[in-house]
Amino acid sequence: MTCLGTSVPPNVVSIAGIDPSGGAGVLADIKTFSALGAYGCGVVAALTAQNTQGVAGVYTPPVEFLRLQIDTLFADVPLHASKIGMLGNAEITLAVADRLAHWRAANVVLDPVMVAKSGDMLLGRDAIAALREALFPLVFIVTPNLPEAGALLGGRMPETLAEMRRAAERLREMLPTTTPRWVLLKGGHLPGSHLTDLLFDGDRMIELSARRVDTHNTHGTGCTLSSAIAALLPQCAGHPSPVETAVRTARDYLLRAIAGSGALAVGHGHGPVHHFHAFWPHPPAPSHC
């Protein structure tokens, strides 16, 4: 069940942070957009000094320059989806929400990035309220993992599938009810050889299960999944079940990217997934130039 490919590639923007190691953030999002047939644009909401082992520092640009990035891009490029990732603080979050509302951004996919794979905090606590109050009204689909869901709901993370179902329901209640909106609650933090995500629109609770891939190369998995959904939503618009199909296709892409990550050798910590696994099936031949 896929819907890859349109006569003209959709334009998709990532508004997120820069990870110099390329495993997460805008750089990973652009790779994902490209691998899935979308033209990728990027707005830098934060700079990080980061590698596969941790985050050494975070710098956010002046908020007026962030606004200028968004306005300049949206004024020229017709954007069919927007992926929102690391925003860093409340001021940046409110500015992004303001400009997305101004431009009536379509297919907003919110990955509420709060903690790096290394455990480093990437979002100030004051910004969580800004996410809920300013960005949630604009979101088409939100994709939290379990710790992020707990933070958004003001409690501990769900620890069972039953608790995940209730958390998905509560998160959906935080989104507008007048138009279709979705929650994809990712269950990768629960133990076991299988992982289950929940896709919920306020009516249907769809369980999406898969066998867990045994690897430490999981840096940027949340960024990659949310950007894959953003790339696929415009391409699935004519499908009978566009959102479910986009999410299932995105999950399949991510699982294959995780499974193929062993072909890469990047860093000494949590390595990145292989965004171009379908295009680099074998190591390149040695160069004789």
Confidence of residue 289 (pLDDT cuts 50, 70, 90): very low
**Mean pLDDT computed over 72-83:** 98
Averaged pLDDT score across all residues of the chain: 92
Cα–Cα distance between 283 and 24 in angstroms, integer?
22
Q: What is the pLDDT of residue 286?
A: 52
- Compare 268 and 120 and report the one with higher pLDDT: 268
Q: What is the pLDDT of residue 191?
A: 83
Number of domains in the chain: 1
Q: What is the pLDDT of residue 126?
A: 79
Global pTM? 0.94
Residue 285 forms part of a structural domain = no
pLDDT in tens, 37-60: 999 999 999 999 999 998 899 899
Q: What is the pLDDT of residue 243?
A: 97
288 has pLDDT over 60: no
Closest residue by Cα to residue 106 from 134, 132, 141:
141
Q: What is the pLDDT of residue 7?
A: 80
Cβ count within 10 A of residue 182: 25
**Mean pLDDT computed over 176-187:** 93
284 has pLDDT over 70: no
- Compare 7 and 121 and report the one with higher pLDDT: 7
Closest residue by Cα to residue 258 from 273, 271, 279, 245:
273
Known catalytic residues?
Answer: 186, 218, 220-223
Hey, which residues does 283 pair with through a beta bridge? none
Closest residue by Cα to residue 88 from 119, 116, 60, 52:
60
Residue 38 forms part of a structural domain = yes
Q: What is the pLDDT of residue 117?
A: 60
Residue 18 forms part of a structural domain = yes
Confidence of residue 125 (pLDDT cuts 50, 70, 90): confident
Q: What is the pLDDT of residue 10?
A: 98
88 has pLDDT over 90: no
What share of the chain in percent tops pLDDT 90? 80
Residue 268 forms part of a structural domain = no
Residue 1 forms part of a structural domain = no
What are the tokens at 192?
A: 């076991």
Residue 286 forms part of a structural domain = no
CATH of the domain at 145: 3.40.1190.20
In this structure, the strands spanning 39-50 and 11-18 are parallel
**Residue 207's domain spans which residues?**
11-263
Q: In the chain, what is the straight-line distance between the N-terminal and C-terminal CA atoms, in Å?
A: 43
Q: What is the pLDDT of residue 188?
A: 86
In this structure, the strands spanning 205-211 and 55-59 are unpaired
What are the tokens at 145?
A: 């993992």
Q: What is the pLDDT of residue 13?
A: 98
Residue 276 forms part of a structural domain = no
pLDDT in tens, 196-244: 999 999 999 999 999 988 899 999 999 999 999 999 999 999 899 999 9
Residue 221 forms part of a structural domain = yes
123 has pLDDT over 80: no
118 has pLDDT over 90: no
